[in-house]
Amino acid sequence: MKNYNQPNKKGEFGLFGGRYVPQQLTTRLAEIEKAYLELRNNPSFQKELQFLYKNYVGRPSLLYKADRLTEYCGGAKIYLKREDLNHTGAHKLNNTVGQALLARKLGKKKLIAETGAGQHGVAVATVTALMGMQCDIYMGKRDIINQKMNVYRMKLLGAKVVEVSEGQSTLKDAIDVALKNFITEENSYYMIGSVVGPHPYPMIVRDFQKIVGNEVKSQIKKQEGILPDYLVACIGGGSNAMGLFYEFIKDKEVKLVGVEPAGLGEKTDRHGLALMRGKPGIIHGFKCRVLQNKSGEIGESYSAASGLDYPGVGPEPSFLVETKRLEVVGVTDSEAVKAFCDLSRLEGIIPALESAHAISYAMKLAQRLKKEQVIVVNLSGRGDKDVENVFENLII
**Rounded distance between C-alpha atoms, residue 214 and residue 94, angstroms:** 13
Model-level pTM?
0.96
Burial class (CB in 10 A: 0-12, 13-18, 19+), 268: exposed
Q: What is the pLDDT of residues 279-290, one digit of tens each?
A: 999 999 999 999
| pLDDT band at residue 27 under the 50/70/90 scheme | very high
Strand-pair category, 188-190 with 110-115: parallel
Dihedral of CA atoms 168, 170, 175, 176 in degrees, nearest 10, equals 10
Nearest Cα neighbor of 343 from 329, 362, 328 is 362
- pLDDT of 396 reads 52
Instruction: Please identify which of the residues 12, 114, 215, 347 carries the catalytic annotation.
Output: 114
Q: What is the pLDDT of residues 363-386, one digit of tens each?
A: 999 999 999 999 999 999 999 999
| Mean pLDDT computed over 193-213 | 98
Q: What is the pLDDT of residues 43-57, one digit of tens each?
A: 999 999 999 999 999
Backbone angles phi, psi at 167, to 5 degrees: 55, -130
- pLDDT of 393 reads 81
Looking at beta carbons, which pairs linking 176-180 to residues 24 or more positions away fall under 8 Å? 176/284, 177/114, 177/138, 178/112, 178/113, 178/114, 178/136, 178/138, 179/25, 179/284, 179/285
- pLDDT of 117 reads 84
Q: What domains does the chain contain, in order, with CATH numbers?
A: 12-52+92-205 (3.40.50.1100), 58-89+210-394 (3.40.50.1100)
Instruction: Please identify which of the residues 12, 33, 83, 92 carries the catalytic annotation.
Output: 92
Instruction: Please identify which of the residues 83, 287, 380, 385 carries the catalytic annotation.
Output: 380
pLDDT at position 131 over 70: yes
Catalytic site includes residue 380 = yes
If you average pLDDT over every residue of the chain, what do you get? 96
- pLDDT of 170 reads 87
- pLDDT of 171 reads 87
- pLDDT of 168 reads 87
Strand-pair category, 160-164 with 63-65: unpaired
Q: With contact defined as beta carbons under 8 Å apart, do 134 and 60 qualify?
A: no
Catalytic site includes residue 92 = yes
Dihedral of CA atoms 185, 186, 187, 189 in degrees, nearest 10, equals 80
Catalytic site includes residue 295 = no
pLDDT at position 63 over 60: yes
Q: What is the pLDDT of residues 89-106, one digit of tens each?
A: 999 999 999 999 999 999
| pLDDT band at residue 86 under the 50/70/90 scheme | very high
| Mean pLDDT computed over 161-167 | 93
| pLDDT band at residue 169 under the 50/70/90 scheme | confident
| Mean pLDDT computed over 216-229 | 98
| Mean pLDDT computed over 222-246 | 98
